[in-house]
Structure 1
Amino acid sequence: MAVEFDLVVIGNNTAAISAAVAAARLQARVALVTLQLDFKTNLENATKLELSSIYNQALTQVAQFAYKIDNAANYGIYLEDYSHKSQSLSHNQLTAAWEWAKGVVSTIEEQHSLAVLASLGVDVVAGNGEFCRQPHLAFVVRNRHLRARNYLIATNSRPVIPYIDGLETTGYFTAANFQQSLPQKLPQSWIVIGSGAAATEISQVLVRLGASVTLIVRGARILPQEDVEVSQLVQAQLEAEGVCILTETKVEHIKRIDHKKWVLAGNKAIEVDEIFLAVGSQPNIEGLNLEGVGVKINRRGIQLNEKLQTTNPRIYGCRDVIKGYQFAFLADYEAKVALKNALFFPIYKVNYRGIPWAISTDPQLARVGMTEAQAIRRYGKDVMVLRQYFQSVSKAVIMGETTGLCKILVRRNGEILGAVIIGAEAGELISAIALAMRQKLKISAIADLPHISPTLSEIVTQTAAEWNNLRLSNNTFLQNLLENFFNVRRSWSS
């Protein structure tokens, strides 16, 4: 019996939808299983963690505007009628901000509507399902056996909920329910639990919207996977804006007294209105009967090889976690590789070298490749650290965005090992370095590339140019040779 589809995609995030659309455009027969009772409910619930990221980015934009208005005097502009430093946004302002953020999400949702997918030739199958082995490998949804040559699992992640005594009875927010559950009036006091990207981002958003925020971190610092100077800079910015950060602190117990929540953190009892959990995510792959079709699962989720095949070679997968952070774009990249292997021949491999990512704090943090500690651990004294600060960039001074730095790690032969940028538009600026890494270009290629001036991108060129400066300062022979050369030329001229 012939298979019905060339590919069955299981999932409902942008990676799954993009893969299904791309397969249809290649004239393949493709089904997209949305794992819910109906497509709309699925988008509103099963994809809410990914959509909440977009929603939170929109709120970040609102918070940045509010912050800039508060600091307009730095530019010689005095807005006497507006200030929210001592109080949160008004009810009307906050309502408008929520609605604008929701509108952003709705606009993006429309791009993935059922009508759009159907018009492109994608067979959307709504409902819960699982793999079966007999009589043939298939994915079963409502007694319908979807038989395909290959399958792609692209399900979402969900927030990790740690066990804390009293947490479930008192209630809490996560990235997945923040959009749906947040009241129109912003709660005045928050505790955020976590140390990673989501925790730092939401802490800054809340404090900029006028709330009181305490960030509780179990380790010695926030963003522990980053270089110390980078995480310390972000931490200093949060503290300067009013976030109270408690490091090396564990939440022991939570209880509700009257209308307040009390959090026992270390030796402190803290009274707050609301709690936000941001301690990580985990793959949402339960109920698919993966073990029944020979797919192995490890602590990271589905076990995948370099071609993104599971231990059942007809079933492919993709995930959205890199360096411990969750990013939807990574799943999109993996889905593209898996799609080519599933539709044609399994010869393509994922290449994580040179994949950039960013954390939407303000200033923004972006990184690609190794950290300084990782580079030195691997290459030792062969590592050169190139560094420039935003305060040396004319455009940054004009914008009043002088906080931050660009650091590029290279070997003495010019090979780029990694880079981190913290500052205005860091997520945009890191792309040039990432492209150079993926194309295996040396740092000299960036140093020799003229940049428009004044622009923020000059910081990348200025940092890259430090490679030649450091090489010259460390090469006594070359310095002496140059000195003698110009001495001789000067004597000729006379």
Structure 2
Amino acid sequence: MTIDYDVVIIGGSLAAYYAALAATQLHATVALVEPKVDYGFTHHHALTEIGKLAQKLDNGCAFGIHATHANTSEECHVSMVWQEAMLYAQCVASNLKEQHSPAILAARGVDVIVGNGQFQSSPQLAFAVNKRLLRARTYLLASGSRPEIPEIEGLQATGYLTLSNIWQSLQGATLAKNWVIIGGIPQSVEIAQTLARFGCSVTLVVKHRYILPDVDPEIAILLQAQLEVEGVRVLTEKPVTQVRLIEGKKWVQARDKAIETDEILVATGQQPNLESLNLAAVGVKWHRLSLVVNDKLQTTNHRIYACGDVIGGYDLANIANYEAKIALNNALFFPRLRVNYHSIPWAIFSALMLAQVGLTEAQAKRQFGRDEVLVLRQYFKTVAAAQLRGETTGMCKLIVLRNGEILGASILGGEAGELINLISLAMSQKIKVKDLANLSPVYPSFSEILEQTAREWSKEKLNSNIPLQEFLEGFFHFRRNWNL
């Protein structure tokens, strides 16, 4: 059997680029087949950061824009800021596109092939693209996903935007004033806040009890409160039943609420890009929302692996890259590595920023029992760096066992994305909570909250052990009375 490559990677996602470059570092021969390049994620994060900046400006200017006349309208000002923001996002996207250009990848040893292809099984397993057969020892699917569109009466006829086309459709266009965002995923929360900070009236409609079903409820409630403070109307437990276009206006029916809006964004979830790959012919099974893989990230064809949101879950780059490392090593060498998401963090780029790793309080108590789990909390208002920066809203929540093992953490507040990385490292290296309590972080810094939260462990453990507490109180009383 003729082999052209050690691995052929299929997809234009960030995880695909990451895996391709990692393969070259392992001295493997690698081809990357990308049907198209989508940098919508770049616009999304760039505009999120700009939204934070716009919120901090006190009726002033952004990107050098000043109101030169007293009667300059707020709408005109917002429109100018929006156009500047879109221009900035396009520049960032252009820079990242250059970093992932075929020329750069080729210079690092990746054979880049642009085009749509599919698997074939006869006479041997191969991937056909541009009238060429790519034969490899193994294959890695990193083709990403596209928006899942729910079956809502009238939605198709009325029209809507999705995560894949929202920023492109707004380039050079006037920003709609009223928005309804359907869905409770990280991107829907981020976009809702960004649009609100650009002066839009935003309603976020979620069918679940909390805005994000996978987030610790205590943290989710705080995040929802922050969104509402900034003007986002949040409707929970309100599944959308129908959409109508009435006299040129779009109407969304969310249970007992009828909402008039200019634009609708559907952000309920993703579904994998798989249909055109001819997977059935090579024995690869998949469901509507994900590929079928084992804990080594092998599909039902042992020579084909997969990573990223093509196997389900949130569209989060760091998790996709983690999966790419596992899948690539198993594909190139002996398949022995297994995925373990316990210490892999993830974050929502809202402001306040939300980050989480490991088990939530409810998950830990179900798994280990209520009496074995301690919940440690500390609030950002106690941190000097938060006070100096004026970001005192938020909390840090650690979930630990009585023996000090860290099971998980949820952080909402300043620098949450950086702080959660430290907790993730501690969990992966089996560092216990008492070691976090012994940190001496730079002062002032947001890392103080980790030390402060960890110190609550000894208090909680003491309070939950009444006989020991009474013994210690008696001991210190004895010392005081006898001047020991």
> Is 1:279 the counterpart of 2:268 in the alignment?
yes
Aligned with 2:145 (options 139, 157, 160) = 157
The one-letter amino acid of 2:34's match is: T
- Could you tell me how far 1:16 is from its partner in structure 2? 0.8
Aligned with 1:170 (options 143, 148, 158) = 158
Q: Which residue of 2 aligns with 1:457?
A: 447
Task: Give the 3-state SS of the residue equivalent to 1:225 in structure 2.
Answer: coil
Mapped partners of 2:59, 2:310: distance in 1: 36
Q: Which residue of 1 aligns with 2:366?
A: 377
Q: Which residue of 2 aligns with 1:252?
A: 241
Q: Which residue of 2 aligns with 1:76?
A: none
Q: Which residue of 1 aligns with 2:409?
A: 419
The one-letter amino acid of 1:391's match is: K
RMSD over aligned CA atoms reads 2.4
Q: Which residue of 2 aligns with 1:231?
A: 220
Mapped partners of 2:389, 2:73: distance in 1: 22
Mapped partners of 1:235, 1:83: distance in 2: 35
Task: Using structure 2 for the length normalisation, give the TM-score.
Answer: 0.92
Q: Which residue of 2 aligns with 1:401?
A: 391
Task: Give the 3-state SS of the residue equivalent to 1:249 in structure 2.
Answer: coil
Q: Structure 1's 185 and 135: CA in aligned 2 closer, same or farther, altered over 3 A?
A: same
The one-letter amino acid of 1:333's match is: Y
> Is 1:125 the counterpart of 2:113 in the alignment?
yes
Mapped partners of 2:270, 2:457: distance in 1: 39
Q: Which residue of 1 aligns with 2:63?
A: none
Mapped partners of 1:402, 1:254: distance in 2: 40
* Matching of residues 41-440 of structure 1 within 5 Å: 42-43=36-37, 48=38, 51-70=39-58, 87=75, 89-182=77-170, 183-320=172-309, 324-380=313-369, 381-440=371-430
Mapped partners of 1:339, 1:241: distance in 2: 43
The one-letter amino acid of 1:11's match is: G
> Is 1:26 the counterpart of 2:26 in the alignment?
yes
The one-letter amino acid of 1:62's match is: I
Assess if the C-alpha contact under 8 Å between 2:179 and 2:261 holds in 1.
yes
Mapped partners of 1:325, 1:358: distance in 2: 11
Assess if the C-alpha contact under 8 Å between 2:406 and 2:427 holds in 1.
yes
1:203-254 CA-to-partner distances (Å, cap 9, x unmatched) read: 1111110011111222333112222221111111111111122233232332
Q: Which residue of 2 aligns with 1:39?
A: none
1:149-204 CA-to-partner distances (Å, cap 9, x unmatched) read: 11111111111111222222322111110121015321111111112212211111
The one-letter amino acid of 2:384's match is: S
**Structure 1: any 5+ residue segments left out of the alignment?**
36-41, 73-78
Percent identity of paired positions between Structure 1 and Structure 2: 51
The one-letter amino acid of 2:364's match is: A
**Structure 2: any 5+ residue segments left out of the alignment?**
61-66
- Could you tell me how far 1:139 is from its partner in structure 2? 0.6
The one-letter amino acid of 2:119's match is: F
1:447-477 CA-to-partner distances (Å, cap 9, x unmatched) read: 1121111111110111011001112233344
Task: Give the 3-state SS of the residue equivalent to 1:316 in structure 2.
Answer: strand
The one-letter amino acid of 1:414's match is: G
Q: Structure 1's 482 and 14: CA in aligned 2 closer, same or farther, altered over 3 A?
A: same
Aligned with 2:435 (options 420, 440, 445) = 445
Task: Give the 3-state SS of the residue equivalent to 2:343 in structure 1.
Answer: coil
Q: Which moved more, 1:125-134 or 1:83-92?
A: 83-92
Alignment: residue pair count: 476
Q: Which moved more, 1:416-425 or 1:52-61?
A: 52-61
Assess if the C-alpha contact under 8 Å between 1:321 and 1:327 holds in 2.
no
Q: Which moved more, 1:432-441 or 1:258-267?
A: 258-267
Assess if the C-alpha contact under 8 Å between 2:120 and 2:127 holds in 1.
yes
Assess if the C-alpha contact under 8 Å between 1:70 and 1:83 holds in 2.
no
Mapped partners of 1:360, 1:437: distance in 2: 23
Assess if the C-alpha contact under 8 Å between 2:270 and 2:289 holds in 1.
no
Mapped partners of 1:422, 1:264: distance in 2: 32
- Could you tell me how far 1:268 is from its partner in structure 2? 3.5
Task: Using structure 1 for the length normalisation, give the TM-score.
Answer: 0.91
